[in-house]
Amino acid sequence: MRKIENQKKLLYKQLALDYVTPFEELMRQRTIFQTAEPKDEMRFWAKSDGCIALLDGKMFVRTNCEKLTNKLQELYALEENQWFMEEVNLVKLRKVLDDFGFEIAGVAPFFIPNTEENVSLGEEIQFFSPEEILQFKEDKRFVHSFSFDEAFPDKLGAAFIEQGEMLAVAGASEGGRFAWEVGVELLSEKAKGRGIASKLVRAMKNKTLADYPENLLLYGTQFSHVKSMNVAIQAGFTIGFTEIRWTKKA
């Protein structure tokens, strides 16, 4: 249970870097508004011109435009944010961003581990080290599972193998100082409708909890991708936070 409790702490440690705020202050304050440029230790999503994280009744905001930061603080410092994602609020946010030359580039839920299981994985699951993952670099089937990018190095892989055929694969890439981001994809029609994606993500979660306890495995997706969200839930994840990111208008 202690490993699961540590997941929320790891999340706040990473968000402290993403939103350029001391960990203790992030835990204590309900709202944070900061002006700062993106840094290497941030997650990919947080390396935008600005972003908002919503979790635990809190709102964290970082922009690279001080006037915009001040405006957002003026608007939202005292507001309850549990219903911030309602369309009326997003319309208001889009208008403010547009006034400063920005536009929303993404809105997404991020899941974190919520259960810890000590279960037998079976012979179908095979893990891969960072060095072993390189053998798949030229395989065009791997789009979401591995990054093959030194800026987001691959840290762990897992495959579901049946009768010598790889049916599905999952991978975790470094997405921040404390965060790894997991991706999964089915490689064969034989994998569909069998819960294999959830099995792989669960295996990745359990492996990370056991062998890499100082890293948080994040599962990001889209609100419209219900099947993907269900994969995370069935694998023992729960929504950790919602994030909105924006960039300068072209």
Q: Average of pLDDT values for 141-163? A: 91
pLDDT at residue 53, rounded to an integer = 98
Q: Is 210 helix (H, G, I), strand (E, B) or coil?
A: helix
Q: Is 22 helix (H, G, I), strand (E, B) or coil?
A: coil
Q: What SS3 string covers 88-120?
A: HHHHHHHHHHHHCCEEEEEEEEEEEECCCCCCC
pLDDT range class, residue 119, cuts 50, 70, 90: low
pLDDT at residue 81, rounded to an integer = 84
pLDDT at residue 4, rounded to an integer = 77
Q: Are 40 and 10 in contact (CB under 8 A)?
A: no
Q: Share the mean pLDDT of the chain.
A: 93
Task: List % helix, strand, coil for the chain (3-state, nearest 5).
Answer: 35, 30, 35
Query: Regarding the domain delimited by 125-239, which CATH topology (the fold level of the hierarchy) does it fall under?
Result: Aminopeptidase (3.40.630)
Residue given tokens 């010598």 in the structure block: 164
Q: Are 190 and 167 in contact (CB under 8 A)?
A: yes
pLDDT range class, residue 205, cuts 50, 70, 90: very high
Q: Is the pLDDT of residue 123 over 80?
A: no
pLDDT digits (tens, 9 = 90+) for 11-28: 999 999 999 999 999 999
Q: Average of pLDDT values for 227-231? A: 95
CA distance 154 to 131: 9
Q: Which two tokens stand for residue 135?
A: 């053998």
Q: Is the pLDDT of residue 133 over 80?
A: yes
Q: Which two tokens stand for residue 42?
A: 């941030």
- Range of lowest pLDDT (72-76, 113-117, 180-184, 233-237): 113-117
* Share above pLDDT 70 across residues of the chain, in percent, rounded to a whole number: 97
pLDDT at residue 174, rounded to an integer = 95
- Whole-model pTM: value is 0.93
pLDDT range class, residue 146, cuts 50, 70, 90: very high
Better pLDDT: 175 or 16: 16
The residue type of 6 is N
CA distance 225 to 216: 22
Q: Average of pLDDT values for 145-153? A: 89
CA distance 179 to 173: 9
Domain residues of the chain, as ranges?
2-110+243-248, 125-239
pLDDT at residue 34, rounded to an integer = 98
Q: Is the pLDDT of residue 201 over 60?
A: yes
